[in-house]
Structure 1
Amino acid sequence: MRKKVNEEHVYVLADETEELDPEVVWKTNPNPWASWSDDKGFMDNKNFVKPPDLTNKKDPNFGKNKHSFRKELKWKLVIAIMLFGAVWAMFHYDTSYTLKGQALVKEALSDEIDFAAAAAWYKDTFAGAPSFIPIFKDNSESAIGADGTVKLPIVAPLEGGSLVRTFAELLNGIELAGGSEEQVVAAETGRVLLLTDKDDNKGTTILIQHANQRVTVYGLLGKAEVSVNDWVEAGDPIGRLLKAEGSQPSLLYFAVKQNDQYIDPVGVIPID
């Protein structure tokens, strides 16, 4: 459709179905400033340059990425099928060549990676990094293997508590002496498994389940500050000792069970 805006000076071209991009029209005009009159402020008809017809133009890159991705995926699938078929055939036919290939595949799947050799290669290859940059300080440290275990903190259940009865005497735990109504904390992170009612002679007992099949037992408590199924971190308060009479200390019974067997707490808990 041709729309007449000004009879004497300019015609604006417009398509009925698609509007031309002004930026494209401007860039494709070989001399856009020549048609602008400073004194009249409008387009001069004799200098008007008709913009190119872009209605039927298509982006040459349209759909290119989509087709290239499909083509790449197809070739990768073909290569994967060929490799799978080659390995399958290798293990179904016993010849001099296939036996060597079988040995190589088994070795690659069963042998452990030599991380020490890889670390040495990295050091020899990338030695001499700029040491004036803090991240590249020349600290030559040997590679350390990771065992995949998480190291959780372990603390003493009674800070500054004195050992008064050993595991050799009780055969199932130890006794620590502390101040009257002193606070007792969880030795490790875990879940409160059991909480017994307070007894006049034995007080309250708390059992906490930890990782690696370990259970800790806290007895002779005068007050419990947790409930069953509570989750506690190492060092969280769980209760207080009984109130002592006179100058006598209050005692804490503490035991550790590993795989349902009592072990000496002094060997696994940092007790002074």
Structure 2
Amino acid sequence: MRPKDNIEQRNAARQMDEDDNVELDPEVAWKTNPNPWASWDGENGIATRRSFVRELDPTRYRDPGKKRSKHSFRKEFQWKLAIALLVFAAVWGMFRYDTEWTLKGQALVKQALTDEIDFAAAASWYKDTFAGAPSFIPIFQDEPQKAVGADGTVKLPIVSPLPESSLVRTFAEMLNGIELAGSSEQEVVAAETGRVLVLTEQDESGATIVIQHANQRVTVYGKLGDAKVKVNDWVEAGDPIGYLLKAQGTQPSLLYFAVKQNDQYIDPVGVIPFD
């Protein structure tokens, strides 16, 4: 054997030793080994690289950390777009011709677009298949839930200040309120929860009460014969605040009622429920 051959053999052996000392990524080694459990040592539970890891094939291995190729995404998008265009063209062509088979297809498409979904049947199928209803879908729930306001504000009740009354003069006539006709000395109630802001003394036209409500709203009650509240009293919707004047002869007793929103008179009929 020539000295040159001995040198080459020693270099090759050294290269093999260096390759044996290279540590592979554990995840890569596990994925590339066809049977990682076969050569484990039963005593110490330790396996060497040579015992169970084969050499990597660079043509078959793809780094899982690499991102998906843009070309594959583009191809997938092109295929989906092509399929969608074919479906659209088929439906469009179906409605262009009136043949026996196109008429049947048109009927199926129209039925699919117009018929309502049978949620009860869908819920029954879901329960039978998955042993329970999907609680995250409200329509599948057994007990209907009460609606909740999305604005986060408390909805206070609003009532008519003179129940079972009739409208005598409209807002279009008076421009600053309405007149309601009631029975003699009928009780008048607060239309909404609020604080008594003004109470005038009774004169020939009667007394007037002004109540401040939330949301910059004010209600005015005029032509009262007697008041049951004082200034700064807190009243709830429907609480008695006074009485109408005593009727003269066959004439009904009248109540002047006005609503101001942000210092502007508005039609009470659009705010207060009247009988």
TM-score (norm. length: structure 2): 0.48
* Higher relative helix content: 2
Rg: which structure is higher? 2
